[in-house]
Amino acid sequence: YTILQPTAYMQNLLANWASIVDNGQLALPYPVATRISLVDLNDVAQVAAAVIGDPAHFYATYELVGTLPLAQTTVAQQLSVVLGRSVQAAEIALDVWQKQVRQDGVLSAYAIETLLKMFRYYAQFGLAGNPHTLTTLLGRKPTSVEEFLRRLRCDMA
């Protein structure tokens, strides 16, 4: 076995994409100053394809981190640059977020409670890592947030 432990996915931005593009708001259920390391799923997939089944990686555990910890205001600034419009990071209260997702009816009660715990953790501690392990496994620098956003903008056009 090989254990891959990815940090928060850049693709999580897709959940808010309409609000980001239409309203210029990156709405988050934790403080905008929260610093979180991110990773592109494409980088995770590339590493998974390379290490799974390779005896050189048996019994290894890899933390897959694509970026140093970024404040959500920094992510909003990068969104502004890539989209060519102002995007502001804004904190929404956990109870407001919870009410919205319950009304949407997409997530189970268990998923909602688990996410609430994760958001509380983020608010208190952030989610910090460094990209050294991923850089080594990829043999290149991991995808940056700006590179991911530029690709996403093209894909969503």
Distance between CA 132 and CA 124 in Å, rounded?
25
Structural contact between residues 82 and 19, judged by C-beta atoms closer than 8 angstroms:
no
What is the mean pLDDT of each successive set of 10 residues along the chain, which is 157 residues long? Answer: 97 93 96 98 98 96 98 98 96 96 95 98 98 98 97 86
What integer pLDDT is reported at residue 11 of this predicted model?
Answer: 98
- The reported pTM is 0.92
CA 11 remoteness from chain centre = 6
What integer pLDDT is reported at residue 28 of this predicted model?
Answer: 96
Give the containing element (helix H, strand E) for 3. strand 2-6
Closest CA to 39 of 82, 14, 5, 72: 5
Q: Which domains does the chain have, with CATH numbers?
A: 2-156 (3.40.50.720)
What integer pLDDT is reported at residue 14 of this predicted model?
Answer: 94
Distance between CA 108 and CA 117 in Å, rounded?
14
